[in-house]
Amino acid sequence: MSHTTLVDARVWRLLLEADGDLAAQARARGCSCGGRLHSARYRRKPRRGLPREVWEEYRWRESLCCASEGCRRRVTPSSLRFLGRRVYLAAWVVLVSAMTGGVTERRAAAMRDLVGVSVRTLQRWRAWWLGAFPEKAFWREVRGRLAPPVDEARLPASLLERFPGEGAGNGLVACLRFLAPITTSTGYAMAV
């Protein structure tokens, strides 16, 4: 998997459509109080790395709000585009972290040119994948479903390898779909 799969706007559109589907599913379930959920999208400021034709659509995060008087509970569905509150898009956090496999000056320079990510951010992402992520309740629950076991010392590259996919970006999309439960506080809590 290389970064060139993400240059194609079709992959970015696929992620956008998947988020729309996740929002529709959450809306269909309704609020826990029994009320209807209405759109309550909010602005995001994703860092660079998107084609111009999808930029405006990526500036919004799907979210819903209960219409029942007195409830007004917010429901933020899982996402394939956003990895929690991070400012970099989930696809970049996964792909760039998988491609670096250890932060060297040369790799850091290439990622800075490609996505605008600093060495410090790369190191923080790597520390999260190798330290905090394996300790998450989500990972402890799902890692046993992957056979043979994922090499945690090579996360997220070893996880991406479990989702080979046909066509540009399909493996990445499948991996992001797998990780979707950790993208919202209503799923698994995610410490940054």
- Per domain, the residue ranges of the chain are 4-183
Alpha-carbon 21 to chain mean position: 15
pLDDT of residue 52: 81
pLDDT at residue 1 is higher than 50:
no
The torsion angles phi and psi of 50, rounded to 5 degrees, stand at: -110, 145
Asked whether 64 and 78 are in contact (CB, 8 A), the reply is no
pLDDT digits (tens, 9 = 90+) for 74-100: 999 999 999 888 888 898 888 888 876
Burial 24-42 (b: 16+ CB within 10 A, else e): eebbeebbeeebebeeeee
Mean pLDDT value across residues 34-59: 87
Token code pair at residue 144: 């046993």
- pLDDT-derived band at 178, boundaries 50, 70, 90: very high
> Collapsing DSSP states into helix, strand and coil, what is residue 89?
strand
Element at 141 (helix H, strand E): helix 137-142
pLDDT at residue 174 is higher than 80:
yes
> CA–CA separation, 58 vs 49, rounded Å?
11
> CA–CA separation, 23 vs 25, rounded Å?
5
By DSSP bridging, strand 60-61 and strand 74-75 are unpaired
The torsion angles phi and psi of 186, rounded to 5 degrees, stand at: -80, -10
pLDDT of residue 32: 92
